[in-house]
Amino acid sequence: MDHILPWLTLKNIPGVGNHLFKRLLDQWKTPERVLEQPVEALASIQGLSKRVAAEIVNKKSMINAKKEIERAQKFDIKILCINDNDYPPLLRQIPDPPPVLYVYGQLIPSDTCIAIVGSRTSTSYGEAFTRTLAKDLVLNQVTIVSGMARGIDTAAHKGALDARGRTVAVMGCGLETVYPSENKTLFHSIAQKNGAVISEFSMGAKPEAYHFPSRNRIISGMSMGTIVVEAGNRSGSLITARLALEQNRQVFAVPGQVHSEMTDGTHRLIKQGAKLIENAQDVLEDLGPFLNSHLQVPQKKVSSEEKDLPPMDSTERSIWNQLTFDPQYIDDIQHHLELSTSVLSVNLLQMEMKGLVEQHPGKRFSKCIL
């Protein structure tokens, strides 16, 4: 990774952000040439002070850059610069592309990427919908991009892995840290199953709050479109949607219950012009003219959930049709189905053993995420 040394040297200088880095490259083409310039020439660049110019000239950050490269190699992390062939091509087009990316796993520049983002405090229904949506997109050779946060992001990555497809997780911290910590298994599964976990932040960077809006621009920037599932009015996924629009990318939103705070944000996006979607087919048809020619749009709405169901008898099927991914009290289920308590309880137990039903506190039941 010797070619990456001047890139990290320049990037690690305090005061050299992504916009300034891009202006320096526009002027001198390569970081090697930037590092060769005198203070006076550097200070002529808009937004670059003489103090920062002096820091560039003395090259003290090269010592830390060498250590960073060694650190990345220890963790089997590749470092890409914006000129490398594996750098995501759509990401190069945004106004402030990260000059370097840390990559655990494999990025494939020919991937057709679609982002799925949403609430960290998602409902069972939202997670199940997301998992099915991701599976169906992956079956059409789409790569799923998300942020590996709790809730919708996690469901999106898992749905892609369920279908043995590719997914990319964009982190708001360095790749030495798994955040959230409960996603450690998912973190490694993504990288080891033909996907990638990536970050623009140095190896030891912690998951600071201000990192995440910056992370979001990468999620939207490397994707042809962004799908928002379950977002309240203050959800960070709305930032991703706004950034996607600024980057001239399509925004999709999944509708939900009218009076639910969980979907206030997605409904607002729809009112503002986001494309309302109900399934993967809606996304593929909308992006059809821009997708790779090998993609196949389903001729009918295909639900991964329905394809994967274990066999059920007529009573179990009626119970299944009554259930949703939001937990319901057993009394309410019984009222709608007019089954005796004993018959309903026995069938719910059998369905739980088949992996169809999940029991929640208070004798509440929901469909399982398959």
Distance of CA 216 to the CA centre of its chain: 8
- According to the model, what pLDDT value does residue 1 have? 64
Is 252 in contact with 285 (CB distance < 8 Å)? no
- Segment 59-68 shows an average pLDDT of 92
The identity of residue 275, as a single letter, is K
Class of domain 309-367: mainly alpha
Percent of the chain exceeding pLDDT 70 equals 94
Is the domain spanning 1-73 CATH 3.40.50.920? The answer is: no
User: Nearest Cα to 351, choosing from 362, 321, 340?
Assistant: 321
The bridge status of strand 364-367 relative to strand 328-329 is: antiparallel
Instruction: Give me the amino acid identity at 63.
Output: I
User: 302 falls in which pLDDT band (50, 70, 90)?
Assistant: very low
Q: How do residues 312-326 score in pLDDT, each as one tens digit?
A: 898 999 999 888 877
The confidence score (pLDDT) of residue 167 equals 98
What is d(CA 224, CA 118) in angstroms, rounded to the nearest whole number?
A: 17
Looking at residue 55, its pLDDT comes to 93
Q: Pick the more confident residue, 353 or 114.
A: 114
Every domain of the chain with CATH number 3.40.50.450 lies at 113-304
In the predicted model, what is the mean pLDDT of residues 91-111? 96
Contact 272, 238 (CB under 8 A): no
Query: What per-residue confidence (pLDDT) applies to 158?
Result: 96
- Taking 60 as the threshold, does the pLDDT of residue 220 lie above it? yes
Residue 161's nearest CA partner among 141, 189, 184, 185 is: 189
pLDDT, averaged across the chain: 90
The answer to whether residue 305 scores a pLDDT higher than 90 is no
Measured at the CA of 192, the angle between CA 219 and CA 90, to 5 degrees, comes to 25
Which pLDDT band, with edges at 50, 70 and 90, does 301 fall under? Answer: very low
Axis-axis angle for helices 152-162, 124-138 (nearest 10): 40
CATH 3.40.50.450: does it fit domain 113-304? yes
Name which of 44-48, 148-152, 282-286, 323-327 the model is least confident about.
Answer: 323-327
Instruction: List pLDDT tens digits, range 243-297.
Output: 999 999 999 999 988 777 888 999 999 999 999 999 999 999 998 766 654 444 4
Length of the chain: 370
Q: Which residues of the chain are in CATH 1.10.10.10 domains?
A: 309-367
Structure tokens at 81: 């610069």
DSSP for 113-139, please give it.
EEEEEE-SS--HHHHHHHHHHHHHHHT
pLDDT tier at 370, thresholds 50, 70, 90: low
More confident residue, 181 or 356: 181
- pLDDT tens-digit readout, 17-44: 999 999 999 999 999 999 999 999 999 9
Whole-number pLDDT of residue 325: 77
Q: What is the pTM of this model?
A: 0.81
The pLDDT of residue 299 is 40
- Enter the DSSP assignment of 278: S
The contacts of residue 259 (CB under 8 Å, 6+ apart) are none
Residue 174 CA to chain centroid, in angstroms?
Answer: 16
pLDDT score, position 260: 79
Judged by DSSP in three states, 253 sits in: strand
Contacts 24+ apart (CB under 8 A), 190-194: 190/105, 190/148, 190/157, 190/161, 191/104, 191/105, 192/105, 193/161, 193/164, 194/105, 194/106, 194/166
Distances (CA, A) of 348 to 123, 284, 331: 21, 37, 13
Name the H helices within the chain. Answer: 5-11, 18-28, 31-35, 39-43, 50-58, 61-74, 124-138, 152-162, 184-192, 211-221, 237-246, 264-271, 280-287, 304-307, 314-322, 330-337, 341-353
Cα 322 to Cα 279, 319, 334, distances in angstroms: 21, 5, 10
Give me the residue label for tokens 């000129």: 83
Cβ atoms < 10 Å from Cβ of 316: 18
Q: HSE of 190 in the Cβ direction (CA atoms, 13 Å)? A: 30
pLDDT value for 369: 64
The CATH 1.10.150.20 domain(s) of the chain lie at: 1-73
* pLDDT (average), residues 363-368: 86
Asked which of 43-52, 157-166, 219-228, 307-316 is least confident by mean pLDDT, the reply is 307-316
